[in-house]
A = this chain, B = another copy of it.
Amino acid sequence: MSKLIFEISMSLDGYVAGPDPSDEDPLGVGGEDLHEWAFATRSWRESHGRDGGEEGPESDLLQESIDRAGATIMGRKMFSGGEGTWEDDSHRDGWWGDEPPFHHPVFILTHHEREAQEMEGGTSFNFVTDGIETALEQAREAAGDKDVKIAGGAQAGQQYLGAGLVEEMMIHVAPVLLGGGVRLFDGDLGDVEVEIIRTVESPNATHVGYRIQK
Which residues of A are interface residues toward B (Cβ below 8 A)?
A: 12-14, 171, 173, 175-177, 179-180, 183-185, 187-190, 192-196, 199, 201-206, 208, 210
Q: What residues of chain B lie closer than 8 Å to A205, measured between beta carbons?
A: 196
Majority secondary structure, A binding face = loop
14 contacts between A and B (CB under 8 A): A12-B194, A14-B183, A175-B195, A175-B196, A177-B185, A177-B189, A177-B194, A179-B187, A179-B189, A196-B201, A196-B202, A196-B203, A199-B201, A201-B201
5 closest A-B pairs by CB: A13-B185, A199-B201, A179-B188, A14-B14, A175-B196
Identical copies in the complex: 2
A177 contacts which of B13, B176, B192, B199 (Cβ < 8 Å)? B192
Question: What CA separation (Å) do A177 and B194 show in the bound complex?
Answer: 8
Query: What B residues does A175 contact at CB under 8 A?
Result: 194-196, 210
**Chain B residues positioned under 8 Å from A187 (CB to CB):** 179-180
Q: Are B195 and A203 in contact (CB under 8 A)?
A: yes
Task: Please indicate which of the listed interface residues A177, A193, A203 has the most CB atoms of chain B within 10 Å of its own CB.
Answer: A177
Give the shortest distance, in Å, between A9 (CB) and chain B (any CB). Answer: 14
| Among B171, B173, B183, contact of A208 (Cβ-Cβ < 8 Å) | B173
Chain B residue nearest to A179 (CB atoms) is B188
Give the complex CA separation of A180 and B185 in angstroms: 10
A175 CA to B210 CA, complexed, in Å: 8
Nearest CB in chain B: distance from A182 CB, A: 13
B176 to A194, Cβ gap below 8 A? yes
Residues of B with C-beta under 8 A to A210? 12, 175
Residue on B with the closest CB to A161? B177
